[in-house]
Amino acid sequence: MEALTRLDHTLAEYLSHEQSQTIKRAFFYAEQAHFGQTRRSGDPYVTHPLAVANILAEMHMDPQSIMAGLLHDVIEDTGVSKEALAVQFGDTVADLVDGVSKLTQIEFNSLAEKQAENFQKMALAMARDIRVILVKLADRLHNMRTLGVLDPIKSRRIAKETLEIYAPIAMRLGMNTMRMEFEDLGFRALYPMRYRRIAAARTKARGNRKELVENISQQIEATLSREGHEATVIGREKHLFSIYQKMKEKRKSFSEIMDIYAFRIIVDSVDTCYRVLGCIHSMYKPVPGEFTDYIAMPKANGYQSLHTVLRGMHGVPIEIQIRTRDMEDMANNGIAAHWLYKSDDKATNVSQARARKWIQGLLEMQQVAGNSLEFIENVKIDLFPDEIYIFTPKGKILELPRGATPVDFAYAVHTGVGNRCVACRINNRLAPLSEPLQSGQTVEVITAIGAQPNPAWFNYAITAKARTNIRHFLKQQREEDSIALGERLLDRALNAQDTSIEGVKGTLIEAFLQTYNYASIDNLCVDIALGERLPTITAQQILGKSGSEDILGDNTISIRGTEGFMVTPAKCCYPLPGDPIAGYLSSEKGVVVHRETCKNLSDVRDTPERFVALRWDNEVEGDYTAALRVEVENRRGVIAVIATRINSMNINIEKIATGDKDHMFSLVDLELPVNSRVHLAHVMRRLRTVDGVHKVTRVKN
């Protein structure tokens, strides 16, 4: 078998004879386990694990990883158990194989959920041993190479999953060669016609560009040789998916994308990298703002290189990357570079440490994500970073995706810092939390004890960690609010029957929870608060009563203003502390509070099971929106005077609208935050003293 011979030759380059023989034994074990099984192409099934092992061997992976590649489908597709594998090849190999195996025993509601669950399992396995992902990537690469035998629908589904998850993972781990092959193979499967046309155009352009590429290469080599630098100059060619993406995103033609000439210069040391940069800049004019030093500040995946853009002959743009041989190996193979024979290599350890840090971040997201689908959506956000580099006040550098805000930075420092964040300083100036950050800025986060995440942060937080933690906190807060409100509603309904929640705890409540499939009384209270269950009927069912007798009585619920999501002031009548109020139960909004005189409340009074008697608590907290209508004379500057008067009372104008009443008077509608009716009355008195104000009234409906 040619593939087995190739594997032998590759292994002989860097492994001992004993290690090669152990790997060969794993091959014969896999061949026996898969005996009689064939792939869709008709080839014996063992050709697939053998191809995976060859990919891993070309990456110079360790013997356990290659054995896991040979055996990765044994647990899933044959009768061999994990324990049997451990006996034959050791616990490490058995754990790697188990980590790569797919979830086939669990039933899922959808294909998306199955993929998400599989990825969650893989993330956990990666945390235990990072080699799991390398075996999985090799497995997926061979499957992508052999997609042609599948039907178009299935091949497109696999290609889409590869482009969305596996190619970005390869990029996140610095494995650029594998990432490019994933993208080109996925592109070919998803858009075969576009792939063929761009491939043909690139082949044609290659001939036209050949002479110019050779001229530039010779000039660079001659200049570097004259300065005494040994360097290898390689003309870089963009891969097809990259060309397609740039054409689509930048709305440019193929010829515009291919007008840029790219070269890679590989030297022997970091010092030489910077010397060569000086030589290159003396040859051609550098383009301002296009130089990036990834050696001093490596990318999140460990990538290091100097990037610069020059204007060559006739204004031709030339992209240059300058790096050492080790950096070149790291750029192409990332975390897999020198895995075995340079395990003490500092660069490799740094790369592996970065990968482990990323995986640890995945696990933290997984713990607070609501479900597997939410988790994988957050992972997709995290897998496409175009980095910026931000400094902490102590000089530490944090990598963030482009477009990140101080909220993202706060969560990158620590989840606790993000949750308690109230303001920030960017380069020692106070700045809004929504301001996009730029590379090189120094950001200081200001925190406060008792501060909480703001729902508005969702509009500008872009990192997966920030969004996951904000969502988790708000969900938790919403649930706590719901439980507290639901308890009060149920308790009030039970009070009308001369009992309480404490009074029915025990047999009565347990029987009810069991009958209606509630795990706990907290779950029941959440449903009541959300309007999914009516407290009056629930109270009747708990007590074993039925009928339509009024069990509400004269009990009223007091509103304190601290109930959060589950108490909503109505936008039609703007109730304020001090107003007589009532409310009704609404699904998702909880209790909607109206003024007693509000016309919109009249319909609800006919459905007493939804109607809720309310009153303001003696100690109400927070501001409430009030609506005012101000009638003013048509004169210049009167609205500015009104705004100044309101500002002098330390009140913000939330909304303002103007309209003509007649040729003499205009109407100004205002929405202002106030804490009570008394506060509003004070504001109205102050506005009536403004010259030109004819009348001030509160909007009732």
Instruction: Look up residue 99 and give its amino acid.
Output: G
Residue range 68-98, pLDDT digits in tens: 999 988 888 787 888 888 889 998 888 888 8
Mean pLDDT of 621-632: 89
At 75 the pLDDT is: 84
Q: For residue 265, list its beta bridge partners.
A: 233, 322
Q: Is the dihedral of CA 333, 338, 340, 345 positive or negative?
A: negative
Mean pLDDT of 496-502: 81
Does residue 691 come out as left (phi exceeding 0), alpha (psi in the -120 to 50 range) or beta?
Answer: beta
Report residue 55's pLDDT band, with 50, 70 and 90 as the boundaries. very high
Is residue 364 annotated as part of the catalytic site, yes or no? no
Residue 227 pLDDT > 50? yes
Pick the catalytic residue from 8, 58, 77, 631.
Answer: 77
Q: Which CATH architecture has domain 2-190?
A: Orthogonal Bundle (1.10)
pTM metric for this prediction: 0.56
Residues 6 or more apart whose Cβ sits within 8 Å of residue 554? 613
Lowest average pLDDT, out of 56-70, 410-424, 558-572, goes to: 558-572
Residue 275 pLDDT > 90? yes
Report residue 22's pLDDT band, with 50, 70 and 90 as the boundaries. very high
Question: Do residues 535 and 489 lie in contact, with contact meaning Cβ atoms separated by under 8 Å?
Answer: yes
Residue 588 pLDDT > 70? no
Distance of alpha carbon 479 from the chain centroid: 23
At 542 the pLDDT is: 84
Q: For residue 591, list its beta bridge partners.
A: 567, 585
Report residue 354's pLDDT band, with 50, 70 and 90 as the boundaries. low
Question: Do residues 347 and 326 lie in contact, with contact meaning Cβ atoms separated by under 8 Å?
Answer: yes
Report residue 271's pLDDT band, with 50, 70 and 90 as the boundaries. very high
Task: Return mean pLDDT, the chain.
Answer: 81
CATH of 624-698 among 3.40.30.10, 3.40.50.40, 3.30.1330.10, 3.30.70.260 = 3.30.70.260
Residues 6 or more apart whose Cβ sits within 8 Å of residue 133? 122, 126, 169, 173
- Domain segments of the chain as ranges: 2-190, 194-336, 474-616, 624-698
In the DSSP assignment, the letter for residue 437 is P
Pick the catalytic residue from 58, 76, 293, 669.
Answer: 76
Query: What is the widest separation between alpha-carbon atoms in the chain?
Result: 101
- Relative to beta strand 611-616, strand 581-586 is antiparallel
Residue range 160-184, pLDDT digits in tens: 888 887 888 888 777 888 989 999 9
Residues 6 or more apart whose Cβ sits within 8 Å of residue 345? 326, 338
At 273 the pLDDT is: 93
Residue 114 pLDDT > 80? no
Mean pLDDT of 516-540: 78
Is residue 77 annotated as part of the catalytic site, yes or no? yes
Nearest to 126 by CA among 370, 383, 360: 360
Q: Is the dihedral of CA 631, 634, 635, 636 positive or negative?
A: positive
At 685 the pLDDT is: 92
CATH of 194-336 among 3.30.460.10, 2.40.30.30, 3.40.50.2300, 3.40.190.10 = 3.30.460.10
Mean pLDDT of 294-319: 82
Nearest to 569 by CA among 606, 622, 492: 622
At 118 the pLDDT is: 62
Exposure string over 23-51, b if 16+ CB within 10 A, otherwise e:
bbebbebbbebbeeeeeeeeeebbbbbbb
Higher pLDDT among residues 339 and 646, named by residue = 646
Distance CA 106, CA 117 (A): 10
Question: Do residues 104 and 145 lie in contact, with contact meaning Cβ atoms separated by under 8 Å?
Answer: no
Residues 6 or more apart whose Cβ sits within 8 Å of residue 37? 44, 45, 77, 78
Q: How many helices, marked H, and strands, marked E, lie in the chain?
A: 28, 20
At 265 the pLDDT is: 93
